[in-house]
Amino acid sequence: MTQVATKPTVFCDFDGTITAVETFAGMMKTFAPQLCAELLPQLYEKKITLREGVRQILESIPSSQYEAAIAFGDDKPIRPGLPELIDFLDHHNIPFHVVSGGLKGMVERVLQRENLLQRVASVTAIEVDPRQDKIIVPPQRFEGDTELVAKVKVIQHHTDGETIAIGDSLTDVNMAFYVDRIFARDRLVKYLETENKPYLPWNDFRDIHHTLQQQWDT
């Protein structure tokens, strides 16, 4: 085994990346259908910010539905190869952080179900207060100008070394431009191609494992 020269840190999105479907958007569409029909298209076209749109949608959901909302991910599958990728990263002493623009309660619940919650270095996602009539989204620790969870701020908090990120959509665009290497799939590919930003394509975690293995184990 060749030692990795400078130890990178890996940052991974959750919705549509760890989960095989868009769990968070799906939850919002289920629990706030009208507002989502109005705001989600504007979000994807970048006419309103994620920060405004997501906060508005979440704060329209009654707190009595919070438990059901975070249970939305319970029957959603995760993409193959994640435990093996984390094993591989562990072997190289490389931390794997989960950074999500979704609900922290849902992210942790899915990772727990897969016995992966204890294996990730950290989980950063939206923290809400469900004790009032409606869900409240207080100021977030890593809130940015346009995002409730500014992934670049999270990355900067954890490392100033080499960075690798894994993502699939709009919430990953800013970190894609910040990190040293970005694994991109789905909608994120389109955003990056529009901007002529190079990326590593992936479909499931076995592809990422394979790419890193080729680089580090030979």
CB of 98 to Mg ion, least distance (A): 11
Residue nearest to Mg ion (CB): 16
Spatial separation of the C-alpha atoms in residues 43 and 188, rounded to whole Å: 14
Taking the C-alpha atoms of residue 214 and residue 187, their distance in angstroms, rounded to an integer, is 26
Residue 175 or 216: which CB sits closer to Mg ion? 175
Does 147 sit near Mg ion (CB under 5 A)? no
- Cβ 4 to Mg ion, closest distance in Å? 27
Angle CA(71)–CA(182)–CA(151) in degrees, nearest 5? Answer: 50
- Rounded CA separation 101/85 (Å): 22
Among 169, 176, 185, 208, binds Mg ion (CB under 5 A): 169
Tokens of 123: 């989980």
Residue 108 binds to Mg ion (criterion: CB under 5 A): no
Question: Where are the strands (E) in 37-179, listed by range?
Answer: 96-103, 122-126, 163-167
13 touches Mg ion (CB under 5 A): yes
CA 184 – CA 168 distance, rounded (Å) = 6
Task: CB nearer to Mg ion: give 163 or 169.
Answer: 169
Mask of contacts with Mg ion, 17-46, x by CB under 5 A?
A: x-----------------------------
Residue 161 contacts by C-beta under 8 Å, 6 or more apart in sequence?
6, 7, 8, 9
Which one of residues 9, 10, 11, 15 is an interface residue with Mg ion (CB under 5 A)? 15
Footprint of Mg ion (CB under 5 A): 13, 15-17, 168-169
